[in-house]
Amino acid sequence: MRPLGPIPKVQCCPVGPIPGRGTAISYLSPAEVTRYERQITLDGWGREAQERLKSSQVLIAGAGGLASAAALYLMAGGLGAMRLVDGSRVSLADLNHQVLFRERDLGKPKAAIAERRLKEINPFVTVESYGKVLSQHNVFRLTANCHALIDASNNAGAGALLNLAAAKQRIPLVHARVWAMTGLLTTFWPGRGPCLVCACLETPSNHHPALLSPLPGIMGALQALEALRLLGGLGPALLGRVLIFKGDQFNFTEKIIRSNPQCPVCAA
């Protein structure tokens, strides 16, 4: 593990279209041009990247702390369509870090509540929610026709399913997990770098780990940034790298990971 180095500067669209997207481009309305002006005028982004983003659909697994930030910023940034999958209900213990929810939401399905809140952020983005637990029986159907997968589940089992779906469907996966005061973030893009199995990421032993409230927001926002980069055509920053944030030390480090030629998922 070593201190985080600078991310190489890249030009717009060096990686080509996201696999499976085809050639259809959704053009911006005048209202959208005004809404996204701060991004469109960003050096290296421009209108082309914004229209690529509008033409994109992602699946977000989980509607908890990571998704509260990741989904909000993808909505605000101008994503085209979002599928939100979470089979759990809002509990009181969720409210210290899952900022999409309120006390009046206790006991209600997270996915449905999150969909309603997210639609208030940006009317130009299509949001569909599925109150289901991600499983081997539904993962390929739910991820069909997506251009990227966002693993905000903070669940190793769901992460493994998404890793497999990404490999089979040849689409990128942006994965994050958090516990205590630690957060991890990496990207798997089939054919371009190692997958989650290759990475052998650290996993919390407790299904409901101790957690300081801002940590999921920090890592979820970084998930959104990475997804915006790859969907807009800048290319992912974290292929073959795991970004590690330690909140108790307030520092970022990185771990370099390499593809395993014997990996049962990405080498198959």
208: domain CATH number is 3.40.50.720
What's residue 98's pLDDT?
A: 97
239 SS3 class: strand
**How many other C-beta atoms can be found within 10 angstroms of the C-beta atom of residue 190?**
18
Nearest Cα residue to 241 out of 18, 61, 3: 3
CA distances from 125 to 54, 71, 196 (A): 8, 11, 29
Least confident range from 10-24, 62-76, 190-204: namely 10-24
Segment 218-247 shows an average pLDDT of 95
pLDDT higher at 119 or 236 = 119
C-alpha span between 165 and 162 (Å, rounded): 5
Whether 10 is covered by a domain: the verdict is no
pTM: 0.89
Whether 14 is covered by a domain: the verdict is no
Give per-residue pLDDT as tens, 115-168: 999 999 999 999 999 999 999 999 999 999 999 999 999 999 999 999 999 999
Whether 135 is covered by a domain: the verdict is yes
Helix-then-strand count for the chain, H and E: 9, 9
Give per-residue pLDDT as tens, 29-68: 999 999 999 999 999 999 999 999 999 999 999 999 999 9
**How many other C-beta atoms can be found within 10 angstroms of the C-beta atom of residue 200?**
12
What's residue 5's pLDDT?
A: 42
Whether 141 is covered by a domain: the verdict is yes
Residue type at position 36: Y
Helix (H) or strand (E) holding 177, with range, is strand 173-179
Segment 251-255 shows an average pLDDT of 96
What's residue 209's pLDDT?
A: 72
How many domains are contained in the chain?
1
Would you tell me the crossing angle of helices 110-121 and 65-77 to the nearest 10 degrees?
30
What's residue 208's pLDDT?
A: 64
Percent of the chain with pLDDT over 90: 78
**pLDDT value at 17 more than 80:** no
**pLDDT value at 2 more than 60:** no
28 SS3 class: coil
Whether 104 is covered by a domain: the verdict is yes
**pLDDT value at 19 more than 60:** no
Whether 11 is covered by a domain: the verdict is no
Segment 91-108 shows an average pLDDT of 97
What's residue 267's pLDDT?
A: 83
Helix (H) or strand (E) holding 139, with range, is helix 139-143
Whether 266 is covered by a domain: the verdict is no
What's residue 21's pLDDT?
A: 47
Least confident range from 3-7, 23-27, 92-96, 156-160: namely 3-7
Confidence of residue 202 (pLDDT cuts 50, 70, 90): confident
CB 71 within 8 A of CB 60: yes
What's residue 210's pLDDT?
A: 87
61 lies in which domain range? 27-256
Confidence of residue 7 (pLDDT cuts 50, 70, 90): very low
Whether 2 is covered by a domain: the verdict is no
